[in-house]
Chains A and B, each alone.
Chain A
Amino acid sequence: AQSVTQLDSQVPVFEEAPVELRCNYSSSVSVYLFWYVQYPNQGLQLLLKYLSGSTLVKGINGFEAEFNKSQTSFHLRKPSVHISDTAEYFCAVSDVQGAQKLVFGQGTRLTINP
């Protein structure tokens, strides 16, 4: 079984500042890793995913994440945030061996202040 921990429930950041949203996972098998974003009154939208290969993954809207197998982490970063990045961010994993379900963390609410 897998589990995902997002240590920060809320992260306030000033506009144009860098941000890092932390995600750690636990799994006895190999996993794929995902970050989803939920804007107000919208569904979950995929930001980026790590399947294999380069541990640095680039996604939409200038976000990137780095897979660190030894630390079982998949932290999300953006060098300069905008007001429009205000949203809830979810880290998730799925089993490489075919189980389809996504296992989510509890989410991090990112608030961008002007």
Chain B
Amino acid sequence: EPEVTQTPSHQVTQMGQEVILRCVPISNHLYFYWYRQILGQKVEFLVSFYNNEISEKSEIFDDQFSVERPDGSNFTLKIRSTKLEDSAMYFCASSAEGSGVNTQYFGPGTRLTVL
């Protein structure tokens, strides 16, 4: 069964450093998402991406964040200058279409630790 994969599973970085979290969505999916979960808190929407542009973003997704689909398979989340409060589990998801009727399939997540 096709699945969403994410690398790395755990990333440790120093405050102020740039990090890139990588995701490989399901191959025939067209809509891509990033969510995050700070320890002990809710899973929060960050951004959705379709047709090579952002379709929606949350207030969390400020200028420090960017997303990219550099090739036909990868979908990346970049944090330019990490802060302590960026420490969280980051989940990538994809869906065949953008309507809510279409299931979003999630990856296993990348745990980001900012020291």
Contact = CB atoms under 8 A, between A and B. Distances in A.
B44 interface: yes
B57 to A, nearest CB: 9
B45 interface: yes
A98 B100 contact: yes
Nearest to B31: A100
Interface of A: 4, 32, 36, 41-46, 49, 51, 90, 92, 94-96, 98-107
Contacts, number: 64
Contacts of B6: 43
A101 B99 contact: no
B58 A101 contact: yes
B33 A101 contact: yes
A6 B105 CA distance: 22
Contacts of B100: 32, 51, 94-96, 98-100
A94 to B, nearest CB: 4
Contacts of A51: 100-101
Interface residues of B, number: 29
Interface in B26-59: 31, 33, 35, 41-45, 48, 55-56, 58
Contact of B104 (A4, A96, A102): A102
Interface of B: 3-4, 6, 31, 33, 35, 41-45, 48, 55-56, 58, 91, 93, 95, 98-101, 103-109
Given A101-B58, A105-B42, A41 B101 contact: no
B91 A43 contact: yes
Contacts of A96: 100
Given A32-B101, A51-B101, A102-B35, A90 B43 contact: yes
A43 B58 contact: no
